[in-house]
A and B are shown apart, each in its own frame.
Chain A
Amino acid sequence: MTARLDARPKRFSSENLVSMLGKQAKVLYPPAIALLIFLVIWQALTSLPSATLPSPIQTVEETWELIINPFFDNGGNDKGLFWQVLTSLQRVALGYTLAAIAGIGLGILIGTSTFMFRALDPIFQVLRTVPPLAWLPISLAAFQQANPSAIFVIFITAIWPIIINTAEGVRQIPQDYNNVAKVLRLSRTEYFFKILMPATVPYIFTGLKIGIGLSWLAIVAAEMLIGGVGIGFFIWDAWNSSRISDIIIAIIYVGLVGLLLDWLVSQIARFVVPEEQKQG
């Protein structure tokens, strides 16, 4: 064996840091500049005498309290943004988890059985086009309570992409793998864990990713209607109290949380999906 004399471990030097920052800068500059331009235009437009919306500076000034202290809790609906978002997230978590369990199960069912596929697919195709809020009145009628109704709306919104993608994944399992399973006479359990799940997992996660986005879309709308604590009702409440700046800050929160959720599911997918099965 030969060893290279100059092969020393790289030290963390200031030179390295500078070059690293330089690289990061290339990625960070464009969005920062775009954001700046956006804020300038916003500021310019809202500086006009006929402006109805607050300028960015005005927004920050008016909502400073909300921004610096998201954790206050004055009882009732008067809570910091953190608590508002958390309540919404709890609803989403419950509805979405139920949708994931039911959706993956139903997806595998219609994916493996041609009969079930023929029976159920047309129904699913019709139901998935129904807008989330259209379910709200019927779920209020059924549950008689606001909270379960909101969770149901999340559930029914998120489940369709999960079902459809899972089913597609099962149907797309290469015939070769099925042939291997047949020749080896794998048991149902072995087939499920060794072949069906690994082969379908990328499709399932595609469905889950679409599902989480849709649930977050639906929760804001649903909460506006059902009231109580939650980021959706917070927005509606702010509108009723003409606190336009609060609405703006809440929208930014909603956007960031949505992004975070999407990122979270992607991270789980990265962890769960087998190396060889990653798409794109």
Chain B
Amino acid sequence: MSVFVEVDHVDRIFSMPNGNSYVALRNIELKIRKGEFVTLIGHSGCGKSTLLNIVAGLDQPTHGGVILEGRQVKEPGPDRMVVFQNYSLLPWLSVRENISLAVNRVMNKLPQGERRSIVEHHIDMVGLRHAADKRPGQLSGGMKQRVAIARALAIRPKLLLLDEPFGALDALTRGGLQEQLMKICEESHVTCIMVTHDVDEALLLSDRIVMLTNGPEAHVGQIIDVPFPRPRSRMDVVNHPNYYSLRSEIVYFLNQQKRAKKLKVQHATAIARNGLEKVNLELGFIPLTDCAPMIVAKEKGFFQKHGLEEVTLSREPSWKAIAEGVATKRLDAAAMVAGMPLGMTLGMNGKPPTPVITALTLSRNGNAITLSKRLFDQGVRTLADFKAAIARTPDKVPTLGVVHPSSMHNLMLRYWLAAGGIDPDRDVSLTVIPPAQMVSNLKAGNIDGYCAGEPWNSRAVHEGLGFVIATDLDIWQGHCEKVLGVREDWANQYPQTHLALVKALLEACEYCDDRRNRQEILDLLCQPEYVGSEAVYTRPGFIDSYNRGDGTAPQMDLHYNQFYVNKTNCPDHVEGLWILTQMARWGITSFPRNWIEILERVRRIDVFGQAARELGLQDMGRDRHPIYLFDGTVFNPDDPIQYLKDLPIKRETRIEEISLDELVGARS
């Protein structure tokens, strides 16, 4: 649908009495479709209400403007009715008179009888028939807010603006009113913008949640799509598989903003020492078995050894938070999923491109596909069984969890499904859930399976919730899994630091693959500040033989978590190219016609080579050879476009020349 309201690069600068100016809002851009419910969320004083007032026309932007249906908003008007935080009912008028005042004024072309019936209809709609002749002073807060909503809706605004409408109400009243508002909005198809700081309220009501950063110079930090189907009920929303991940994402954002406020002073002061430009690093990781190299580098002193004296490991809630953290410079570097540097550089899913590079692969393998016990009981043992099971219940589409669009979990699960003739977007539904929440979602029955790293598959097996239908060893033995990602400008600014970081982690990887050290590493992983998992389900694959939970005997595989052996660490281009074809295949990014240039730039073999040479490690490079996957297809790195064309199940793919500097230049 076309754009209904456009907030076009709005700045709002207040002049202060002391002659200074305060930039409340900076470069706010937002496009809202007709019928959409958008929530603005952020900390107090972040300018949410200012933005709402600008849309209402009660306040004027210093730069930019608001366009409603192609016309610029210059003054307030009844087409953009506001429900104010403190109701703003006229205390000397009764409920009916308050509503009539608006209706008589705005709909003065209608005959009187019709206007009266509109007023009465809306009094009934909010259930205030018994109080129609009372004045606001005789009503409770919740009733007053209902009058305000009735007054707003009665004049049929094109856009309904709600400024913390339920902020002053008790929880019970708030819940009831939220549901009433949701029902009314769905019935009358109003476009809404609501300001709130209640995360649950935002998730319940919104189609999109716009998170504003702290003022001064508040801007749109992140926009979350809320995919819950409508009509919604509170229980459905809370039980949706994505609810907690979305919620934690918003809470995480808000907490980040809170922290950013405190850190503003100390931030961006690089401490140079030991011939390095910056020795104080903040590294992000996700609690998984294969984050081991980072923890080992920290705990066993490899960072220290290479001069990185003040490294902090930051445990992040989701891969999205990792991407966000690196893009916003909060994190210096992070362990990323393999496709993330390429995806971020190209700008996946409509996000602005952020050039991110990788000079080190941290691990290979270590993933598995878990399906629920229910499917196991239906006799599903193989991919073909799964296809048959899906065909048997055409009315119920199984939901499978993946951890991030650019992760190997997503790409390999899709590849595996497609190879079995299952369209990953049509025959099943894929949803993004952070790895640590997979098991609880499987247990709750929100998802029917997932592809994730360890220990989360073994945990489901251990708890009897599911079984492993395939490990990545069955799909593509030795694929790259986690990589070290840093922003390109960061690497250019701190080249020696980057090199030291690669060297420290490379040594840590070597340490991790010495099986004599595995027990020690396991103890580290199980500490609560790292993975915090229990040893019993962290051991399989990492130390012990791997139990699939399908009745077969546990098998020992020394390559299940691979950190160093078999030339693990080189960020080679053939794998990167395969990732590019797969991301293009599923419409996550375009396929760059200039893939060689992109791969050269993102997967930095030169930095890796220098690190390896300086450590005295020989023969670390990987040969340029085709990739053989489980279904017998061979990926020929010399003709990726033909390969992409030959793939049977795919989305609409775009192939285009991608000039990174232009993309990045256009943004800044």
- Would you call the interface of chain A mostly helix, strand, loop, or mixed? helix
Say whether A267 faces chain B, with CB atoms less than 8 Å apart.
no
Interface string of B142-160 (1 = CB under 8 A from A): 0000000000000100000
Which of A75-83, A129-137, A178-186, A215-223 contacts its partner?
A178-186
Say whether B58 faces chain A, with CB atoms less than 8 Å apart.
yes
Say whether B167 faces chain A, with CB atoms less than 8 Å apart.
no
Q: Contact between B88 and A184 (Cβ–Cβ < 8 Å)?
A: no
Q: Which residue of B lies closest to A274 (CB)?
A: B92
Contacts between the two chains (Cβ within 8 Å), count = 61
Q: Contact between A176 and B92 (Cβ–Cβ < 8 Å)?
A: no
Say whether B135 faces chain A, with CB atoms less than 8 Å apart.
yes
Measured CA separation A194–B155 after assembly (Å): 18
Q: Contact between A194 and B90 (Cβ–Cβ < 8 Å)?
A: yes
Q: Contact between B90 and A179 (Cβ–Cβ < 8 Å)?
A: no
Chain B residues contacting A276 (CB-CB under 8 Å) are 91-92, 135-137
Select the residue from B86, B92, B106, B136 with max chain A CB neighbours within 10 A: B92
Shortest Cβ distance from B160 into chain A, in angstroms?
Answer: 11
Q: Contact between A194 and B77 (Cβ–Cβ < 8 Å)?
A: no
Measured CA separation A69–B101 after assembly (Å): 56
Measured CA separation A262–B106 after assembly (Å): 43
Q: Out of A176, A183, A198, which one reaches B78, CB within 8 Å?
A: A183
Q: Contact between B101 and A184 (Cβ–Cβ < 8 Å)?
A: yes
Q: Contact between B90 and A275 (Cβ–Cβ < 8 Å)?
A: no
Q: Which residue of A lies closest to B152 (CB)?
A: A183
Q: Contact between B78 and A185 (Cβ–Cβ < 8 Å)?
A: yes
Measured CA separation A275–B254 after assembly (Å): 44
Shortest Cβ distance from A35 into chain B, in angstroms?
Answer: 40
Say whether B80 faces chain A, with CB atoms less than 8 Å apart.
yes
Q: Contact between A274 and B78 (Cβ–Cβ < 8 Å)?
A: no
Q: Out of A182, A186, A275, which one reaches B58, CB within 8 Å?
A: A182
Say whether A177 faces chain B, with CB atoms less than 8 Å apart.
yes
Say whether A238 faces chain B, with CB atoms less than 8 Å apart.
no
Q: Contact between A274 and B56 (Cβ–Cβ < 8 Å)?
A: no
Say whether A251 faces chain B, with CB atoms less than 8 Å apart.
no
Known: A176-B84, A179-B84, A182-B58. A198 touches B90 (CB 8 A): yes
Say whether A195 faces chain B, with CB atoms less than 8 Å apart.
yes
Q: Contact between B135 and A275 (Cβ–Cβ < 8 Å)?
A: yes
Chain A residues contacting B102 (CB-CB under 8 Å) are 184
Q: Contact between A183 and B90 (Cβ–Cβ < 8 Å)?
A: no
Select the residue from A184, A185, A198, A275 with max chain B CB neighbours within 10 A: A184
* 10 nearest A-B residue pairs (beta carbon): A276-B91, A274-B92, A176-B88, A198-B92, A182-B76, A276-B137, A183-B76, A184-B105, A180-B88, A184-B102
Say whether A277 faces chain B, with CB atoms less than 8 Å apart.
yes
Measured CA separation A184–B82 after assembly (Å): 10
Q: Which residue of B lies closest to A187 (CB)?
A: B105
Say whether A61 faces chain B, with CB atoms less than 8 Å apart.
no
Measured CA separation A80–B130 after assembly (Å): 59
Say whether B7 faces chain A, with CB atoms less than 8 Å apart.
no
Chain A residues contacting B294 (CB-CB under 8 Å) are none
Shortest Cβ distance from A1 into chain B, in angstroms?
Answer: 18
Interface string of B73-89 (1 = CB under 8 A from A): 00111101110101010
Chain A residues contacting B75 (CB-CB under 8 Å) are 182
Q: Which residue of A lies closest to B78 (CB)?
A: A184
- Supply 17 A–B pairs (Cβ within 8 Å), ascending by A: A179-B58, A179-B84, A180-B88, A182-B76, A183-B56, A183-B57, A183-B76, A183-B77, A183-B80, A184-B78, A184-B106, A184-B155, A186-B101, A198-B92, A274-B91, A276-B92, A276-B135
Say whether A73 faces chain B, with CB atoms less than 8 Å apart.
no
Interface string of B112-135 (1 = CB under 8 A from A): 000000000000000000000001
Chain B residues contacting A194 (CB-CB under 8 Å) are 90, 93, 101
Q: Contact between A176 and B86 (Cβ–Cβ < 8 Å)?
A: yes
Say whether A65 faces chain B, with CB atoms less than 8 Å apart.
no
